[in-house]
Amino acid sequence: MVDVKPCFRPDGAGTLLFVKVLPRASKNQVCGIMGDVLKIKVTAPPVESAANEAVCRFIAELLGCSASAIRLVRGATSRNKVVSIQGFSAAEVARCLCPEEE
């Protein structure tokens, strides 16, 4: 059994991912797990949902799936967000987004 961190939670046919987003970064990157959240930096500014869209696109790119499988569930105006990822188990998401954590 794989030890999955609290930021990756199984949810029906997918996973809920708890993230802290840092907008206006120099590059898109996963910074690692901090407590119960995965810290992600994106280059987009936090205006008109640009950072939210950038986070979803970046996660889809890292997982190698379509952007339609990634959906913001909570936190549209907050740095702390909950993202739904359909079609991936919590262990698969953790392995793709945080390979160094294994």
pLDDT in tens, 8-38: 999 988 999 999 999 999 999 999 999 999 9
Q: Look up the pTM and report it.
A: 0.92
Length of the chain measured in residues? 102
Q: At what angle do helices 90-97 and 50-63 cross, to 10 degrees?
A: 100
Element (H, E) at 90: helix 90-97
Question: Does 1 reside within a domain?
Answer: no
Residues 27-68: tens digit of each pLDDT = 999 999 999 999 999 999 999 999 999 999 999 999 999 999
Query: Who contacts 81 (Cβ-Cβ below 8 Å, separation ≥6)?
Result: 18, 19, 20, 21, 52, 55, 72, 73, 74, 75
pLDDT band at residue 101 using 50, 70 and 90 as cut-offs = low
The whole domain housing 72 covers 8-101
pLDDT recorded at residue 33: 93
pLDDT band at residue 1 using 50, 70 and 90 as cut-offs = very low
Question: Does 33 reside within a domain?
Answer: yes
Rounded Cα gap, residues 52 and 66, in angstroms: 16
Check pLDDT > 60 for residue 102. Answer: no
Question: Does 92 reside within a domain?
Answer: yes
Structural domain count of the chain: 1
User: Are 38 and 32 a contacting pair, CB within 8 Å?
Assistant: yes
Question: Average per-residue pLDDT in the chain?
Answer: 92
Question: Does 77 reside within a domain?
Answer: yes
Question: Does 2 reside within a domain?
Answer: no
Residue with structure tokens 């188990």? 89
Question: Does 83 reside within a domain?
Answer: yes
The CATH number for 52's domain is 3.30.1200.10
